[in-house]
């Protein structure tokens, strides 16, 4: 969106992201800060890190895998818990696949190129932009 400061571009985007305005369910809306903190983090990694949903799913996946690895008991209750963990892990994996988590870097690179970033800018740290 282009326009003068103060006309509501950011407010509109915030309302769309919060789904306070009608948005198709299959749309994924992510907001990023207008100004990135000057860090040594590579630009592509900074953009990928802004995907909160992907980050939450990956964290939950790690938690579930850790719980599965620590399962030792052979009781019926433990078997039910194991099945519950496996089911949730499967659900998280499906959500990650649906969100295109595996293709996140390629998608970010394509977007940044479309915005006029060179490969050197994309692969370089945020603090040199």
- pLDDT of residue 17 exceeding 80, the answer is yes
Q: Are 129 and 121 in contact (CB under 8 A)?
A: yes
Which tens digits make up the pLDDT trace of 39-53? Answer: 899 999 988 988 888
Q: Is this model's pTM higher than 0.85 or not?
A: no
Q: Are 127 and 38 in contact (CB under 8 A)?
A: yes
Which tens digits make up the pLDDT trace of 80-99? Answer: 989 999 999 999 999 999 98
Which tens digits make up the pLDDT trace of 100-119? Answer: 899 999 999 999 999 999 99
Q: Sign of dihedral through CA atoms 85, 69, 93, 16?
A: positive
């Amino acid at each position: 969106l282009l326009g003068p400061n103060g006309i509501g571009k950011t407010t509109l985007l915030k309302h769309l992201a919060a789904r306070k305005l009608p948005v198709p369910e299959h749309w994924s809306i992510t907001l990023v800060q207008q100004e990135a903190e000057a860090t040594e983090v590579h630009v592509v990694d900074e953009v990928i890190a802004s995907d909160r949903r992907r980050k939450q799913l990956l964290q939950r996946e790690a938690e579930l895998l850790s719980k599965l690895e620590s399962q030792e008991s052979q009781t019926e209750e433990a078997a039910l818990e194991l099945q519950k963990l496996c089911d949730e892990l499967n659900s998280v994996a499906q959500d990650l696949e649906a969100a295109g988590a595996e293709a996140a870097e390629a998608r970010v690179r394509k977007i940044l190129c479309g915005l006029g970033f060179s490969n050197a800018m994309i692969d370089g740290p945020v603090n040199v932009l």
